[in-house]
Structures are given as structure tokens and as C-alpha cells.
Copies of this chain bind each other. A is one copy, B any other.
Amino acid sequence: MSSALIVDIHTHVYPRSYMDMLRSRKAVPYVHDPVNATPRLIILSSDDDPSIPLDERGRPVDPSYWDINVKLAFMRRHGINCSVISLANPWLDFLEPEEAQTWAERINDDLEETCARVNQAVDPDNTRSLHEKETLFAFGALPLSAPRADIVVNEIKRLKTLPHLRGVIMGTSGLGNGLDDPALDPVWGALQETDSLLFLHPHYGLPDEAFGGAEVMNRYGHVLPLALGFPLETTIAVTRMLLAGVFDRFPGLKILLAHSGGTLPFLAGRIESCIHHERKFVANGGNVPGPQRSVWDVLQTNIYLDAVVYGTAGLKAAVTAAGGADRLMFGTDHPFFPPLDTSEDAEWPSVTTNYKAIHAAFDTEKEAVGAILGGNAARILNLK
């Protein structure tokens, strides 16, 4: 659709080693292999419904989840030059403490090795520029269930030594108590000190009761938890960080929020207003410190947004909240949301919807389109 550089910063993989680990498990998350049929991936507790036969539980997973050649074909089909791949949810959140470090190192080494191998095969002498080939970089996973925060800190530092790693991906649970947990301070400190981008991504959604209970929720398949639960989970997580003063203590943090911030750009004004009216905060005579910096300042200093919002309405809020087009980055969410009729060479509507929204939102500003499609990612993540 464009001859400009296109970088996909929201694209997931489950490495084979990770799939094998999920196969060895019987509790969520796990993989079940029906006889003579596609494997089933059960990652949401709402999908692990005993009333559903095991062979039909969760979602089918095909090689697009683990075969990097399928990813490369997807990239070529959609004109994507560079993908910054990340482990998909639920990452390593569920691991027993003693296995966390080993698995983080294994997965991150796998990611580095995949990127190195692919890039070497595509352009052995590294003579072509980024927009003339398909290239991979990666966000690493963290051993958040490890028994001590310094294990997480060490992995953040080790990732800086891997040539194709460009930051880390994390869910909203942190060390198990959310992202306003003071025990995370060493992790924020290490991310700030190493200038590592954190890609914050939802997984847990909202309690069934938020949607009127499991019966109501399941009536509409995955629409309510994916369309609403995911974005609000991200919004709650980053708002808790704000309210707890994380961005005051770590003003150099760089956080990329999935799905254009969940709903943060839209709700930023309301959050800011509620903070200014909250009597519990010290600034208003209360005894809870409360945030020192404004939501807008954080959005325009610490936060980056992907452009995975499927429409110009959301995109305009994102750009306005971010103070311009230079903090947004194109993404696909591949391999999730494949077309329902799987013809081999068709473009994915979930991808073209986002392409079209970016072009429509900036019809008179070609520079903004190029920046969001790839220029920003190349600059922010130092891709070359």
C-alpha cells in the first residue's frame, strides 16, 4: 500500500519451545493436541470451560503462531519490512518461581537466534536498507514470577547485550499485585537505567461480572472480553501506575501501550479531572501522595502508542493525546484476528482496517503517515 518503510511493532510469536512447555501443562495456560486435528490453545480461564469438550476448548492454533516463515510470508503479503516480534500472552507470568529465570533466558535467546538467523539469510552482508527487505527484531520476556526482583533486573540488563532485542513485553500483573506495586521499583529503575522500552500488553481482561456474568459474556463469543476487557485492563494498569506516582519516581520510563493505550487517550481528560477533584490526595488536603505530573505530560513524555485501534476516531484521540503523530507506531497483532475464510494469499481485514485508518486520519499529512507506518519505530527503537 506504500513504498515507505513499514514496521510492525505489535506482532506475536509462541516459539516452539514455549508451545512444548504449554503442551506439558494441564492447567491454564495449556495446549491440547486433538487426534488428527489442529492443536487447541487455552489461555483464558473463561475458555477452560469443563462443559466444552477438550477438543473444542480454547482456540485452534496453526503454524502462524510458531513458524517464523509464516510470519515472513504475512509480512511480504502486507508490505511490512520489519517486525518487532514479542512473546504472546500470557508470557511467563504463570511459571513456578524456580523455573522463571531459565525460561526467560531460553525464550529470549530463542528470539535473538531467530532474528539473527532470518536477518542473516535475507541480507547476508547487511547492505540493503530496512525498507528493501524483511527484517526481524524482538521484545524480550521477563521472569516476573522469579523469587527475587534482582533476577528480573538482571534479565533486563542481559537483554541489552543481545543485538536484536529492543525492549521487553509485560502484562498488567507485574509481580502479581499490579503495576502500582512498590516492589516493582527495581524493575522500573532497571528499565529506566538501561533505556529499555516496555511494551505493556493486556491478558487478564475484566471479571466476568463486569459483563453481566459468564453466561452473558459467552453469549457473544470473545467480543466483550477482547473488544472491551482487554483495552480496559491496559487502561486500569497504566492509571494505577500514574496514581501511585511511578512516573514521578521514574520520569525516564518509556512505555508502549498496546491497542493505542486501551482507552487512555479517550479517558485521559476524565482521569485528570478526577485526580484534581480527589480529596484523598495531598494536593487537595488529603493524606495520599497522589500523582505529581499530569496525565497529559506523561502521555507526551513517557508513553508511546501502537496504531492498532481499527478506526480514525480512536486514532485521532491517540494522536491528540500524544501531542502529535511522532509517538504512534503501526502494528498488526498478528497472528491474532486472521480472516475467517483462509485463502492463502488474501490480505487480512484486521490489518487493512488499520492501514486505511492511518491514511484516512492524515489524508493531508503524508509525513505523519510515514512516521506512524515505520519512521517512528525506526527512530524510537533504533532499527537499522
A interface residues (Cβ-Cβ under 8 A, vs B):
177-178, 180, 206-207, 209-212, 216, 219-224, 226-228, 231-232, 235-236, 239-240, 243, 259-260, 263, 265-281, 284-286, 288, 290, 296, 309-314, 316-318, 320-321, 337, 340, 349-350, 353, 357
Contacts of A273 in B (CB 8 A): 227, 310, 337, 349-350, 353
Verify B228–A232 contact, CB threshold 8 A.
yes
- Contact status of A210 and B232, CB under 8 A, knowing A279-B340, A313-B265, A349-B276: yes
B residues in contact with A271, CB < 8 Å: 223, 227-228
Whether the pair A231, B270 counts as a contact (CB closer than 8 A) is: yes
| Complex CA distance for A228 and B180, rounded to whole angstroms | 16
| Contact (Cβ within 8 A) A236 B223 | no
Number of copies: 2
| Chain A contact surface mostly | helix
- Measured between beta carbons, the chain B residues less than 8 angstroms from A206 are 206-207, 210, 232
Known: A210-B207, A210-B210. A314 touches B266 (CB 8 A): yes
Q: Point out the residue from B263, B279, B288, B337 that lies within 8 Å of A219, measured CB to CB.
A: B288
**Docked-complex contact A311 and B272, CB < 8 angstroms:** yes
Known: A223-B275, A263-B231, A269-B353. A313 touches B317 (CB 8 A): yes
Known pairs A212-B177, A277-B337; A236 contacts B224 (CB<8 A): yes
Cβ distance A245 to chain B, nearest Cβ, rounded Å: 11
20 A-B pairs besides A207-B207, A224-B239, A227-B271 with CB distance below 8 A are A210-B232, A210-B236, A211-B240, A220-B278, A220-B288, A221-B281, A223-B274, A228-B235, A232-B232, A260-B266, A265-B266, A265-B313, A269-B313, A272-B311, A273-B353, A277-B340, A284-B340, A285-B340, A313-B316, A313-B317
Looking at A180, A260, A273, A350, the one whose CB has the most chain B CB atoms below 10 A away is A273
Given A210-B236, A236-B211, A276-B349: A243 and B265 within 8 A (CB)? no
Q: Give complex CA distance A273, B308 in Å.
A: 11
Interchain CB contact (< 8 A) of A266 among B266, B274, B349: B266
Q: Give every chain B residue within 8 A of A266 (Cβ-Cβ).
A: 231, 260, 263, 265-266, 309, 313-314, 317
What is the chain B residue whose CB lies nearest that of A210? B206
Cα–Cα, bound, A210→B228 (Å): 12
Bound Cα distance from A231 to B270, whole angstroms: 9
CB-defined contacts of A313 to chain B, threshold 8 Å: 265-266, 268-269, 316-318, 320-321
What is the CB-to-nearest-CB distance from A2 to chain B, in angstroms, rounded to a whole number?
Answer: 20
A-B contact pairs, 9 of them (CB 8 A): A206-B210, A210-B210, A227-B274, A231-B263, A263-B266, A277-B340, A284-B340, A285-B340, A313-B317
A312 nearest in chain B by CB position: B320
Q: How far is the CA of A232 from the CA of B263 in the complex (A)?
A: 9
Given A222-B274, A224-B239, A227-B271, are A216 and B281 neighbors across the interface (CB < 8 Å)?
no
